[in-house]
Amino acid sequence: MIKINRILVPTDFSLVSLGALRYGLSLARAHGAELYVLHVVAPETGEPNLSRYVVDDAMLLSQSMISQVTPLPLDRLLRERRLDLYHFMHERLRPEELAEVKIIPMVRLGEVVEEIGAAAKEVGCDLVVMTSRKRARIARLFSKSLTQQVVRLAPCPVLSIQPWAKVRTESGEQVPARILEQGGAFAAG
């Protein structure tokens, strides 16, 4: 049997990524694994003034003025995204789901694919669980999907599930990955 100790689930706070979060949570519960939930703040996401934050921080670091500025604007941005991640998990998962598995939230700044791979490597993940997104056929011909890029870069296996994927529960019932049964009640996504 394969032993899974650490699972990484990237999220962009969308309902599509909720399927991967619930699937990762289910796997973590079944294997007694830790679940790392990662959100990457990427410069290309249109984050307001993100490039200014990065330039300002780099300038401050190069001038050794860190002690004079607290907190850095970038720290505030990452702290806000960390709060968004907590809010997303607490809004979408029931308290007993959150208590069953050790969940470690992570927020990183950078290019999404590179940060997913780097986080998986740093944490020593045994598995990355991602939700694949449906894209137009023409778009698939000209560029690789995010999941394909992560598969090539990740230091561990990557499990890609479709947003409409169904999962067999302990009772043998098939339910959408975004809705996993627990204790007879459904947690809607």
C-beta of residue 179 within 8 angstroms of C-beta of residue 189: yes
The 10s digit of each residue's pLDDT in 2-21 is 889 999 999 988 888 888 89
Domain count, the chain: 1
Contacts of 27 (CB under 8 A, 6+ apart): 4, 7, 33, 127, 129
The larger pLDDT score, comparing residue 164 to residue 33, is at 33
Can you spell out the DSSP letters for 43-87? GGGT-TTHHHHHHHHHHHHHTT-GGGSSS-HHHHHHHHHHHHHHH
Query: Count of H helices and E strands in the chain?
Result: 7, 9
The percent of residues in the chain predicted with pLDDT above 70, rounded, is 64
Whether residue 158 is contained in a domain is answered as yes
Is the predicted pLDDT of residue 50 greater than 80, yes or no?
A: no
Contacts of 156 (CB under 8 A, 6+ apart): 120, 125, 126, 127, 128
Whether residue 58 is contained in a domain is answered as yes
Distances from the Cα of 130 to the Cα of 65, 150, 159, 173, angstroms: 40, 9, 6, 22
Is the predicted pLDDT of residue 131 greater than 80, yes or no?
A: yes
Whether residue 1 is contained in a domain is answered as no
- List 176's β-bridge partners, or say none: 166
User: Which range of residues forms the domain containing residue 17?
Assistant: 6-184
List the structure tokens of 174.
């098939």
CATH number at residue 50: 3.40.50.620
Q: How high is the pLDDT of residue 144? A: 64
The 10s digit of each residue's pLDDT in 51-98 is 444 444 444 444 444 444 444 577 788 888 999 999 999 888 888 878
The 10s digit of each residue's pLDDT in 95-116 is 887 888 999 999 998 888 899 9
Whether residue 189 is contained in a domain is answered as no
The closest alpha carbon to 176, from 64, 18, 38, belongs to: 18
C-beta of residue 36 within 8 angstroms of C-beta of residue 29: no
Whether residue 147 is contained in a domain is answered as yes
pTM, 2 dp: 0.72
